[in-house]
Chain A
Amino acid sequence: MTAQETQTPTVERLDDAHSRVTLALEIGLYPIDVLYGAAYIFIDRAYVLLDKDEGVGRPGRYLVHLRGKNPMSHEQLLALCGEFGNELLSQALRRKVVKQNQKIIEEITTQAIAGAAGGTLPTDFLANQDDGLDFLDDPLGIAVPWEEKFKKKKDEPGAAP
Chain B
Amino acid sequence: MSLPASVPLHKVKAEALVPFNHRRIGGRWLVSNDLGDHVFLTDAEFTTFVQAETRPGDPLHERLVAGNFLAGTVDVQTQAARWRKKKQYLFYGPTLHAFVLTHRCNHGCQYCHSSIVGMERTDTDMSIETAERAVDLAFQTTSPGVTIEFQGGEPLANWEVLQHVVEYARQKNALAGKALSFSLVTNLSLMDDDKLDYLLDRKVQLCTSLDGPADLHDKIRIYKNGSSHELVVGWMKKINDRYKAMGLDPNLYRVEALPTITRPALGRWRDVVDTYVSVGCRAVFLRKLDPFGFAARSAKTLGYSMDDFVQFYINAVEYILELNKQGTQVMERHAAIMLSKILADEEPNYLDLRTPGGACIGQIGYAPDGSIYSSDEGRFVAAMGDDMFKVGTVMDTYDRLMTNAQTRALVMAGLNDGQPDCVSCVYKPWCGQQVEYNYKTQGSLHGRMRDSVWCKKHKSIFDYLMAKLERADPEEMRIFERWTTHRVLDHFLQERSAL
Known A-B contacts A90-B448, A117-B402, A117-B403; A112 and B417 likewise in contact (beta carbons under 8 Å): no
- Collect the chain B residues with CB atoms within 8 Å of residue A108's CB: 90, 356, 415, 417
Contacts of B438-460 to chain A: CB distance below 8 A: 442-444, 446, 448, 450-451
Complex formed: what's the CA distance from A87 to B361 in Å? 28
Flag if A112 contacts B411 (CB, 8 Å). Answer: yes
| Contact assessment for B415 and A113 in the assembled complex, using a CB-CB cutoff below 8 Å | no
Asked whether, in the complex, the Cβ of A109 is within 8 Å of the Cβ of B448, the reply is no
Q: Tell me, yes or no, whether B8 is within 8 Å of chain A by CB.
A: no
Docked CA distance A82–B443 (Å):
15
Q: Which of B91, B412, B420, B442 is the one whose CB lies under 8 Å from A115? A: B91
Which residue of A44, A98, A121 contacts B418 across the interface (Cβ within 8 Å)? A98
B301: chain A residues within 8 A (beta carbon): none
Q: Is the CB of A111 within 8 A of B417?
A: no
- Whether the pair A109, B402 counts as a contact (CB closer than 8 A) is no
Residues in B neighbouring A97, C-beta threshold 8 A:
417-420, 423
Interface centre among A44, A87, A113, A129 (most CB of B within 10 A): A113
**In contact, B407 and A113 (Cβ under 8 angstroms):** yes
Contact of A117 among B142, B423, B446 (CB under 8 A): B142
Separation in Å of the A4 CB from the closest CB of chain B? 22
Residues from chain B with a CB closer than 8 A to the CB of A41 are: 442-444
Is the C-beta of B493 less than 8 angstroms from some C-beta in chain A? Answer: no
Chain A residues near B415 (CB, 8 Å)? 105, 108-109
The verdict on A49 contacting chain B, using a C-beta distance below 8 Å, is no
| Complex CA distance for A40 and B388, rounded to whole angstroms | 14
Q: Counting CB contacts under 8 A, is B360 at the interface?
A: yes
In the assembled complex, which residues on chain B have CB atoms less than 8 Å from the CB atom of A117? 93, 142, 399, 402-403
Contacts of B356 in A (CB 8 A): 108-109, 112
Q: Is there contact, CB below 8 Å, between A116 and B443?
A: no
Give the CA-CA distance A105 to B418 in the complex, in Å.
7
- A94 to B442, alpha carbons, bound, how many Å? 15
Nearest CB of B to A96, in Å: 8
Flag whether A3 is at the interface (Cβ < 8 A): no
Instruction: List chain B residues, Cβ under 8 A from A129.
Output: 405, 408
Give chain A residues whose Cβ lies under 8 Å from the Cβ of B417. 97, 101, 104-105, 108
The answer to whether B418 touches A116, judged by C-beta atoms less than 8 angstroms apart, is no
Q: Which of A87, A90, A93, A109 contacts B412 (CB 8 A)?
A: A109
CB of B198 within 8 Å of the partner chain = no
List residues of chain A with CB within 8 A of the CB of B408.
Answer: 109, 113, 126, 129
B407:A94 contact, CB within 8 angstroms: no
Q: How far is the CA of A86 from the CA of B444 in the complex (A)?
A: 13
Contact B446 A94 (CB under 8 A): yes
A residues within 8 A CB of B159?
Answer: none
Whether B448 and A116, one on each chain, are in contact in the complex, defined by CB atoms closer than 8 angstroms, is no
Residues facing B in A24-75 (CB within 8 A) are 37, 40-42, 44
Contacts of A112 in B (CB 8 A): 90, 356, 361, 411
When chains A and B are docked, how far (Å) is the Cα of A104 from the Cα of B142?
A: 23
B412 neighbours in A (Cβ, 8 Å): 105, 109
Which residues in A have their C-beta under 8 angstroms from that of B403? 113, 117, 121
Q: How many CB-defined contacts (below 8 Å) exist between A and B?
A: 82
CB-CB under 8 A for A116 and B93, given A97-B419, A104-B417, A126-B408: yes
A145 CB–B CB distance under 8 Å: no
Please state if B418 and A113 are interface contacts (CB–CB under 8 Å): no
Interface residue A118 (Cβ < 8 Å from any Cβ of B): yes
Which B residues are CB-close (under 8 A) to A104? 417
Nearest chain B residue, comparing its CB with the CB of A116: B93
- Cβ contact within 8 Å between A109 and B411: yes
Q: A108-B90, A117-B142 are in contact. Are A86 and B411 (CB under 8 A)?
A: no
Contacts of A113 in B (CB 8 A): 361, 402-403, 407-408, 411
Contacts A41-B444, A111-B90, A115-B90; A93 near B420 (Cβ below 8 A): yes
**Which chain A residues in 126-160 approach chain B with CB under 8 Å?**
126, 129
A116 and B451 contact, CB distance less than 8 A: no
B360 contacts A116, C-beta separation under 8 Å? yes
* Residue of A93, A105, A108 ringed by the most chain B CB atoms within 10 A: A108
Q: How far, in angstroms, from A113 to B398 measured CA to CA in the complex?
A: 12
Question: Is the C-beta of B92 less than 8 angstroms from some C-beta in chain A?
Answer: yes
Cβ of B94 under 8 Å from chain A: yes
Cross-chain contact B92 with A116 (CB below 8 angstroms):
yes
Chain B residues within an 8 Å CB radius of A42 = 443
| Contact yes or no, B91 A90, CB < 8 A | no
Specify the chain A residue showing the minimal Cβ separation from B446: A94
> Which residues from B are CB-within-8-Å of A101?
417-418, 423
- Complex Cα–Cα for A40 and B399 (A): 31
Chain B residues closer than 8 Å to A87, beta-carbon distance: 448
Chain A residues contacting B141 (CB-CB under 8 Å) are 116
Picked from A44, A93, A98, A121, the residue with its CB within 8 Å of the CB of B443 is: A44
Residues of B within 8 A of A118 (CB): 93, 142, 399
- Write the nearest CB–CB distance from B139 to chain A, whole angstroms: 12
State in angstroms the CA–CA spacing of A116 and B359 once bound together: 12
CB within 8 Å of B: which of A77-123? 86-87, 90, 93-94, 97-98, 101, 104-105, 108-109, 111-113, 115-118, 121
CB distance from A16 to the nearest CB of B (A): 24
Bitwise, B75-103 to A at CB < 8 A (1) or not (0) is: 00000000000000111111000000000
Instruction: Give the complex CA separation of A41 and B361 in angstroms.
Output: 26
> Which residue on B lies nearest to A96, using beta carbons?
B420
Q: Contact: A86 with B443, CB < 8 Å?
A: no
Q: In whole angstroms, how far apart are the Cα atoms of A109 and B417 in the complex?
A: 11
10 contacts between A and B (CB under 8 A): A42-B443, A90-B446, A97-B420, A101-B418, A105-B412, A108-B356, A111-B90, A115-B93, A116-B93, A117-B402
Instruction: Give residues in A with beta carbon < 8 Å to B.
Output: 37, 40-42, 44, 86-87, 90, 93-94, 97-98, 101, 104-105, 108-109, 111-113, 115-118, 121, 126, 129
* Top-5 shortest CB links A-B: A116-B93, A41-B443, A115-B91, A118-B142, A90-B448
Beyond A94-B420, A113-B402, list 4 extra A-B contacts (CB 8 Å): A41-B443, A117-B399, A117-B402, A118-B142
